[in-house]
Amino acid sequence: MSSHPVIELTSPSSWAMVEDKFSPFALETLAKLIKFQTEEVWPALRVAHAQLPDDQSRWKTVIPIIRDLKARARELGLWNLFLSKSHYPQHGVDLTNLEYAVMAEILGRGGHFASEVVNCSAPDTGNMEVLARYGSPEQQKKWLIPLLNGEIRSAFAMTERFIASSDATNIRTSIRQEGNEIVINGHKWWISGAGDPRCALHLVLGKSDPNSSDKYRQQSMVIVPANTPGVKIIRPMKVFGYDDAPEGHCEIIYDNVRVPLSNLILGWGKGFEIIQGRLGPGRIHHCMRSIGAAQNALDLMLARVTDPAKKTFGKYLYEHGTVVADIAKSRAEIESSRLLVYSAAAQIDKYKAKGALKEIGIAKFVVPSMALEVVDRAMQSFGAEGVSQDQSLAQTWAGLRTLRFADGPDAVHIQQIGQRELKRAPEVVKRLDAIKKKETGLFEKYQVKAHF
């Protein structure tokens, strides 16, 4: 059996399937990441929450211990691990998506802060990929490099109020050219990252050619500096009561916002192409971290149900009811979901995101729901404490629940996967007919009749 420290935090059998696909650099980086997270990051998580004020100043706060841990992560070379050099030779790290999948599971155990300290948290990860793949040299110099260095944060402005934003062709925000400027008018909400005092730019999706006969060429994407006149942050939205400060998820109005023409990304009518390129990797990153969140919840449950101080009626909690069965279900569901994620990550490495749409789509609607079930079982073992601020489980559950909407709702992914399967029907029917024909011939040859 492998002696790598990852087997203490994941499944030995799952690790055995992928260990030989890890480079020496990846193995060393994974071990270093585990040591950093277990010895420095996870012990700091409650401190980080305590350093975030309860009043409105929370939106102006850069959490001191997170700032210090980010500096430490850079010293250790644990930085921008999500950005694969195979796809982004100029800016990436020498890791495959499969290698990062295992690391992201480790990060997922520590929630959002654990990813932030290694510069691997959304929405910055997706925005960096957009700028690395589609940005001009000038845009990369001005915005991508500071993001890669962790000097600034960013927001991704797509979802809109008053429409069904799960269909991106419904987007109403206007993006039009006036001379050497682009003028933006629109009403967005759930714009993650926009509340952060370090947020320096928004990537805004809007309609630049609403009359185009091609509905997928009507949209464009533009860089909007966060301090541009007309950018009005209306309020932070709350997720089951959590505001996720200081980043937040904001409602924003863009009121006659003007930016230089050079802030257009890739070109007019390229918005839909950009978001499809961005959302594929982003979806699988969410799933990777969700595996870690589920694994952490199961670990908390194991500690709780074997705690002598929590005995009821003279028995450990695991000796009651369906607790053992719940543990077994959680273990099995995590194992199967992890393999889905590994499969999707491997497909991205081989064929890029476009060639892995099926695997990404399946993981996207299976993994968050699985993690929600696992966390719910863990909360149940904690009783009322499980839904309180004294445990991380309630906030973990709230964050996971949003993933059933984020980057496309479950229903959309399920529909797409079902339709993709239906396309196989003609070939399946052809194969079955061929088998039936040969079967009929065999009945005739051996002169027997079917019993059904």
More confident residue, 407 or 158: 158
Q: Return the amino acid letter for 248.
A: G
Look at 67-76, 273-282, 324-333, 393-402 and tell me which has the smallest mean pLDDT. 273-282
423 pLDDT above the threshold of 90: yes
Average pLDDT rounded to a whole number, residues 392-415 = 93
Rg over alpha carbons for the chain, rounded to the nearest Å, is 24
Query: Domains of the chain: which residue ranges?
Result: 5-148, 153-265, 274-425
Average pLDDT rounded to a whole number, residues 198-221 = 97
Q: What tokens does 325 get? A: 């069965």
Query: CA-CA distance, 78 to 70, in Å (whole number)?
Result: 9
Q: What tokens does 46 get? A: 């409650």
More confident residue, 418 or 279: 418
Look at residue 22 in the predicted model and tell me its pLDDT.
98
Average pLDDT rounded to a whole number, residues 304-327 = 96
Average pLDDT rounded to a whole number, residues 246-265 = 98
SS3 state at 109: coil
In DSSP notation, 69-86 reads: HHHHHHHHT---TTSBTT
What's the pLDDT band for 190 if we cut at 50, 70, 90?
very high
Look at residue 279 in the predicted model and tell me its pLDDT.
75
Predicted confidence (pLDDT) per residue in 70-97, tens digit: 999 999 999 999 999 988 999 999 999 9
Look at residue 451 in the predicted model and tell me its pLDDT.
82
Look at 80-94, 133-147, 243-257, 425-439 and tell me which has the smallest mean pLDDT. 80-94
**What percentage of the chain exceeds 90 in pLDDT?**
91
355 pLDDT above the threshold of 90: no
Look at residue 245 in the predicted model and tell me its pLDDT.
96
Average pLDDT rounded to a whole number, residues 412-433 = 96
1 pLDDT above the threshold of 90: no
Average pLDDT rounded to a whole number, residues 126-133 = 95
* Fold entry, domain 274-425: Butyryl-CoA Dehydrogenase, subunit A; domain 3 (1.20.140)
* Fold entry, domain 153-265: Butyryl-CoA Dehydrogenase, subunit A; domain 2 (2.40.110)
| CATH 1.10.760.10 is held by the domain 5-148 | no
Look at 72-86, 209-223, 353-367, 375-389 and tell me which has the smallest mean pLDDT. 353-367
Look at residue 2 in the predicted model and tell me its pLDDT.
83
pTM of the model: 0.94
Cα–Cα distances (Å) from 287 to 271, 291, 343, 365, 400, in that order, read 24, 6, 12, 9, 10
Average pLDDT rounded to a whole number, residues 150-176 = 95
Query: CA-CA distance, 218 to 203, in Å (whole number)?
Result: 17
What's the pLDDT band for 353 if we cut at 50, 70, 90?
confident
